[in-house]
Amino acid sequence: MSRPELIRDPAAWQRRCTDARDAGTRIALVPTMGYLHDGHLSLMREARVRADARGRPGLSLATIFVNPTQFGPTEDLARYPRDLDGDLAKCGAAGVDLVLAPDDPGAVYPKDFQTWVDVAEVSKGLCGDRRPGHFRGVATVVAKLFGLSRPHVALFGEKDWQQLQVLRRMAIDLDMGIDVVGMPIVREADGLAMSSRNAYLSAEERGRAVAISRALGEAGRRAAAGERDPVALAAGIRAAVEAAGMRVDYVELAHPETLRPVERAVPGTRVLVAVFLGKTRLIDNVALP
């Protein structure tokens, strides 16, 4: 399939999307920070299906923008991987029609920008506590992209589970009328969750990283066998990843929507993990069977 049309100017993008929506076109959106992998492409392929779901061609959109407001002062904004040419080719193969890729953060956050979106409760704990301001930046940029794109449906990966719940809550609370869809985590053959940050790992670190998904899988098996104590399940995960030379940021068993810690592990409880492997922070999660 041909490469999608690239639009750099958010105002031009907004006009294009508004005209399409006003003409009755169904719009599906996949916001990304680029450096695309098969996880992103699974979202884009599903966006193509959902855009065309009403029996006539819809509009499948993707955005590529490394959002500075969701990075803390000591985080990896400057070295976050980028490959716009490669990303555009991948978007085309996945059926994307248009890509918004602003070449200057000032086009998204103009001078004197002062409006922020805070999603209060579901942003607490987990990454919300470890990365202050992160979800404010995520919610704000996605709210702007929703306003610019006017989608009927927006798709996000379940690997960033807390982010998904934040954006669902935002769309509900602000009456956005957008179906925020979570798509399953796409994994490497050995189980490692696909992430743009995997590119930071050395070959030796990459070999150790698989311990994360294996520990989550073992927790699921223990729960299926009858273990209901979240402390015991979390301790098993912590021990396994620490044995592989990783530093645990958190291991939590939480309600899948509110993300509040649970006193008893039941089917559907979300098990969420964040670790540091060298200088790279990796996250993963599963639902208990």
pLDDT tens-digit map of 64-98: 999 999 999 989 999 999 999 999 999 999 999 99
Question: What DSSP assignment string belongs to 55-120?
Answer: SS--EEEEEE---GGGS-TTSSTTT----HHHHHHHHHHTT--EEE--SSGGGTS-TT-------T
Q: CATH 3.30.1300.10 spans which residues of the chain?
A: 196-282
Question: Residues of the chain with pLDDT > 70: what percent?
Answer: 100
- State the pLDDT confidence band at 200, using cuts at 50, 70 and 90: very high
Task: Name residue, tokens 């609370």.
Answer: 173
For 252-258, which contacts have Cβ atoms below 8 Å and span 24 or more sequence positions?
Answer: 252/125, 252/126, 253/288, 254/125, 254/126, 256/161, 256/165, 256/287, 257/122, 257/165, 258/121, 258/122
Task: Name residue, tokens 């990459």.
Answer: 206
* CATH level 2 (architecture), domain 196-282: 2-Layer Sandwich (3.30)
pLDDT tens per residue, range 245-283: 999 999 999 999 999 999 999 999 999 999 999 999 999
pLDDT tops 90 at residue 58: yes
The pLDDT value recorded for residue 110 is 95
Q: CATH 3.40.50.620 spans which residues of the chain?
A: 5-183
Model-level pTM greater than 0.75?
A: yes
pLDDT tops 80 at residue 24: yes
pLDDT tops 70 at residue 287: yes
Q: Taking the domain 5-183, which CATH number applies?
A: 3.40.50.620
CA-CA distance, 68 to 83, in Å (whole number)? 17
pLDDT tops 90 at residue 229: yes
Task: Identify the CA nearest to 2 among candidates 99, 82, 88.
Answer: 88
Catalytic residues: 40
Residues 170 and 117 sit within 8 Å (Cβ to Cβ)? yes
**20-24, 74-78, 176-180, 265-269: the lowest-pLDDT one:** 74-78
Q: To 10 degrees, what angle do helices 10-22 and 134-149 make?
A: 50
The pLDDT value recorded for residue 1 is 59
Residues 192 and 200 sit within 8 Å (Cβ to Cβ)? no
Average pLDDT over the chain, rounded to an integer: 97
The pLDDT value recorded for residue 41 is 98
pLDDT tens per residue, range 113-159: 999 999 999 999 999 999 999 999 999 999 999 999 999 999 999 99
Residues 26 and 59 sit within 8 Å (Cβ to Cβ)? yes
The pLDDT value recorded for residue 280 is 97
